Amino acid sequence: MSVAEIKKTAEQKMQKAIDALKHDYQKVRTGRAHIGLLDHIQVDYYGSPVPISQVANLTLVDARTIGVQPWEKKMVAVVEKAIRESDLGLNPATQGDLIRVPMPALTEERRRELCKVVKSEGENAKVAVRNIRREANEQLKKLVKEKLISEDDERRAQDDVQKLTDKHIAEVDKLAQQKEAEIMTV
């Protein structure tokens, strides 16, 4: 593996860590409705668990309500039960074959708890980025040991990897601040 490949791989992995963080932040409820909130809910469809988006149409009814319309009439009760039993603390209401999922307003205490969750997720992403840096530096040391690159090349490459790390950690901090601001906005 060459120095360029090591750097490229490290950057790709760091970007994946950022993308995973963004995905995790989408699940943190802010009081506003968005259909991504229900993405991880699994519904029992003829004995096998499938994502809710594969058995129903998800829409935004208004800023605080998600509309869920199952494609099969008999799935209405199953989908409603899955939403109610999820870890999101939502209370869906059925109207015919449309399930309305209102987003309850967040209390100040709940907002603070969510900010802690956001910080924790951000720290986990930073740890992931730093682990990727460590792996890249170990691979560079291995190349020096095998005499494939000089120590100067290794030092330059480690500096580049550190710059990548700094850039991605700054992005994690920025995402965390944005999400906290979003949560604390009433």
| Reduced 3-state DSSP string for 129-153 | HHHHHHHHHHHHHHHHHCCCCCHHH
pLDDT at position 134, please?
A: 93
User: Which one of 60, 83, 102 terminates a domain?
Assistant: 102
pLDDT at position 162, please?
A: 92
Together in a domain, 62 and 18: no
| Burial call 94-104: b when 16+ CB within 10 Å, e when fewer | eeeebbbbebe
User: Which one of 102, 134, 160 terminates a domain?
Assistant: 102
Together in a domain, 89 and 113: no
User: Which residue in 106, 109, 123 sits closest to 28, CA to CA?
Assistant: 106
User: Which residue in 59, 63, 52 sits closest to 105, CA to CA?
Assistant: 63
Specify the 3-state DSSP secondary structure of 59.
Answer: strand
For residue 72, the 8-state DSSP code is S
pLDDT at position 165, please?
A: 92
pLDDT at position 29, please?
A: 65
Together in a domain, 113 and 163: yes
Together in a domain, 130 and 39: no
pLDDT at position 126, please?
A: 93
**Residue span of the structural domain in which 16 resides:** 3-27+107-184
CATH no. for residue 121?
A: 1.10.132.20
Rounded mean pLDDT for each run of 10 residues along the chain, 186 residues in total: 87 91 76 74 87 88 86 88 80 88 79 84 91 92 88 89 92 90 78
pLDDT at position 31, please?
A: 64
pTM as predicted: 0.68
- Residue partners of 113: CB distance under 8 A and separation at least 6: none
Number of domains comprising the chain? 2
